[in-house]
Structure 1
Amino acid sequence: MTSSDPSTPPQARSADSIRQLLALDAEHVWHPYGPMPGTVAPLLVEEAHGVRLRLADGRELVDGMSSWWSAIHGYRHPALDAALTEQAGRMSHVMFGGLTHEPAIRLATTLADITPGELRHVFLCDSGSVSVEVAIKMCLQYWRSLGRRGKSRLLTWRGGYHGDTFHPMSVCDPEGGMHALWRGVLPEQLFVPAPPAGFGAEPDRAYVEELVRTVERHADELAAVIVEPVVQGAGGMRFHNPEYLRVLREVTEACDVLLVFDEIATGFGRTGELFAAEHAGVCPDVLCVGKALTGGYLTMAAALCTPRVARGISAGEVPVLAHGPTFMGNPLAAAVANASVDLLADGSWRADVARIEAGLRTGLAPAAAVPGVVDVRVLGGIGVVQLDHQVDAAAATEALTARGVWLRPFRDLIYTMPPYVCDDTDVAAIAGAMVAAARVA
């Protein structure tokens, strides 16, 4: 057997080798949302299989984060590995300008088939944040093509997160997020309060009236409304009633404003529906997907739009969408994305997500009695423990890893979005570790 066989425990690196690698990491590698040089040494991962990360020191952790919500099928899935290997034997990349290929054609066709409503046209992107950039550009260019340049602002609700590139930052929460640093540089957008919390809570009529009133008042200057449907992700892991999405669809149609749903985090089953928009039974004009699109193997995202949007852009003075990434439609990423979506085709993921939801509800229930915990909430394959103070990330991470679980707490949250292939024991381990982390965090 080789060391890559999951049944063969990998030989742990020596302590000296680990120290040397981490020293080089600290010297040269700038990690996300961290200073340079880093102040906290990351864990060194040697390999991964199924739902487990094997660290260089020999420890094994259940990955309750699905690699930032993307590895929904776990690691080294045979169907995804095979798709990647087969495509690499044909071609790893070819430019998408003037050329095309079967993996991208099949992926775009599949996405058009499985997404809600009339989202027929698919623009393949490098990453989730770039798909939001493209979606915004679609909306702005649509109105410019129609000669309505005054419709150039965006509206969203507070508590959102749409990425770290510039236009997406402008529609992230302007106070609570990381992007307040860029006030005065970013475009100034319009914000309404965050939607009232609670997926199953009764809709707040006063809030509905405020949503409608704000869109109506600013309709002449609004290119689009952009929101995360049902779940606000990195902005706070908040859930809201799908009724607010129906309200937005009705008022944007009435006021001639485009509607964009950012489903980068929620798409492909995470909330219990294939797309979160399905909870509301509505379709946006533009839809962003990413993260789980390739099952966590390669970076790829997409912005889908309706024929109305595509026709409007194509009828303009500049009749093309002014965007074209070098690695757009990458064949390797498209091939593995096709395999990932194919794994969802039989619908068995629904039972897995329901099982995970039930396990998280049971396993996280004790957290409600932990001092400092203000809320415990679960929806689909998402579990959240919210504190009344900032998480002590170091203490929480130590408690989690001591119990064999990898999570990344942030702000006042300890949360999980595990791979759908987690079994009941894995889910129980994740939930138990979250409760333990809440006690020390």
Structure 2
Amino acid sequence: MTSYDDLLAFDRDHLWHPYSSMTAPSPVQQVLSARGVRLRLQRDSGPVEVVDAMSSWWCAIHGYAVPELDAAVVDQLGRMSHVMFGGLTHEPAVQLGRRLVDLAPAGLDKVFLADSGSVSVEVAMKMAWQAHARDGIGRTKFFTVRGGYHGDTFSPMSVTDPDGGMHSLYAGFLPEHVFADRPPATGEPLEEWKSATQALFEQHADDVAAVILEPLLQGAGGMHAYDPEAVRFLATLAREHGALVIFDEIATGFWRTGTAWAADACGVTPDVLCVGKALTGGYVTLAAVLTTAEVAAAVDASPAGAMMHGPTFMANPLACAVAVASLDLLAATDQAANIARINAALDEGLAPARDLGSVADVRTLGAVGVVELGTPVDVRRVTEAALARGVWVRPFRNLVYSMPPYVTSEEDLRTITTAIVEAVEEVHG
């Protein structure tokens, strides 16, 4: 067994972590195990249990060591862990495809199973490109709004916020697309934004292959919530000018914002829907792209004659089997009521943060609670302050937020919200 000190030393010297420096790495916590909504961490003082306020970046919606999901993995291991999807198929992939088609907005009945959220956005953008290539129009631009985040590979980076986003380093290297201003926050007037957005779109309309959006909530770009009317407006603009509508619901899907899809709350069915993160309940990486028969036919009518993407681990049987089990668990509970329960607890528990001088805004949407500071968060100190109160959070930029597992109890939700408010007050005042 590697000692605690040796493990952290090797990690520090050799392992890169997300968005971190290799030469001056941030501190990390060693996880010994996870069960329910708790992570068991090894600390200098010994093992401790903390409530996970993050759902492991929003995917572990059922918590950890879930018996039904464990059983699905074990059962599938007894059959096969993986086979190529080229020229072969298997029951877990077919079952998952059926479940996704049944759950998705009507008409989205063609399913491409991808490796990860970023890859699903790559595939969606390829679909839009190929769909227009069939008739020689050759549309080469995507239209989106500032403040968004769509993934870390190059095509998703190119439609992520070009200035304030984490990928601004690559400006000049990425393809240049068209960015409207970020929609006003929920409840703010839209008319001025609509007018400017329409004018910008019409300047580029003949070149736009698709509008791509995170509907209702921009996730890693700043946890910005905006009005369903803005989503409807952008979708209408796209369709009036022959462009497709792509919804990136990797973060917002599977009830996170209060409905099965954010699209449901907007009253818009996209032409292409990207899903991921919570798809497997956080067990293994898997994503999917759903589209219509019309788009699929347009893709096939392109010069390539087929969808030109095929990941090695496409439709991995283990991932598909646990995804089906995760969707079964979601369906076994009234999720609309459950997410409303979580929202009420987040809303009540984070409200005291509004009285803190360092806090610029407090907002909730579905199972998402956000405390926005007026200055950048001292990530190290706020993380430690929350851990001292029994909660794992991962702040970024000027945000301390929670997207807890859907099985989090009222008591644990109070623990989360109290820890966030008190950690912000302790560190930032």
TM over 0.5: yes
Alpha-carbon distance, 1:398 to partner: 1.0
Alpha-carbon distance, 1:349 to partner: 2.1
Q: Find the partner of 1:282 among 227, 244, 268.
A: 268
Q: Residues of 2 paired with 1:341 and 1:209: CA distance? A: 41
Partner of 1:69: 58
TM-score (norm 2): 0.97
Partner of 2:357: 371
Partner of 2:128: 139
| Aligned positions of 1:113-192 closer than 5 A | 113-149=102-138, 151-192=139-180
What secondary structure sits across from 2:3 in the alignment? helix
Alpha-carbon distance, 1:37 to partner: 3.5
Q: Is the 8 A contact 1:219 1:255 kept in 2?
A: yes
TM-score (norm 1): 0.94
What secondary structure sits across from 2:21 in the alignment? coil
Residue 194 (1) aligns with residue 182 (2): yes
Partner of 2:77: 88
Residue 326 (1) aligns with residue 312 (2): yes
| Aligned positions of 1:232-311 closer than 5 A | 232-311=218-297
Partner of 1:101: 90
Alpha-carbon distance, 1:250 to partner: 1.5
Q: Residues of 1 paired with 2:26 and 2:291: CA distance? A: 42
Q: Is the 8 A contact 1:215 1:255 kept in 2?
A: no
* C-alpha RMSD over aligned residues: 1.2
Q: Deviations over 1:8-40 (max 9, x none)?
A: xxxxx9xx9211110111122111100114432
Q: Residues of 1 paired with 2:24 and 2:286: CA distance? A: 28
Q: Residues of 2 paired with 1:264 and 1:173: CA distance? A: 17
Q: Deviations over 1:173-200 (max 9, x none)?
A: 11111111111110001000001012xx
Partner of 1:8: none
User: % of aligned pairs identical?
Assistant: 55
Partner of 1:430: 416
Residues 230-239 or 205-214, more deviating: 205-214
CA 1:61 to 1:38, structure 2 compared with 1: closer, same or farther past 3 Å? farther
Q: Is the 8 A contact 1:263 1:289 kept in 2?
A: yes
Q: Is the 8 A contact 2:211 2:235 kept in 1?
A: no
Alpha-carbon distance, 1:202 to partner: 4.8
Q: Is the 8 A contact 2:299 2:306 kept in 1?
A: yes
Alpha-carbon distance, 1:235 to partner: 0.2
Residue 221 (1) aligns with residue 207 (2): yes
| Aligned positions of 1:34-53 closer than 5 A | 34-53=20-39
- Residue 84 of structure 1 aligns with an amino acid whose one-letter code is V
CA 1:261 to 1:203, structure 2 compared with 1: closer, same or farther past 3 Å? farther
CA 1:426 to 1:213, structure 2 compared with 1: closer, same or farther past 3 Å? same
Q: Find the partner of 2:48 among 51, 59, 70.
A: 59
Q: Is the 8 A contact 1:265 1:291 kept in 2?
A: yes
Point out where structure 2 has 5 or more consecutive residues left out of the alignment.
none
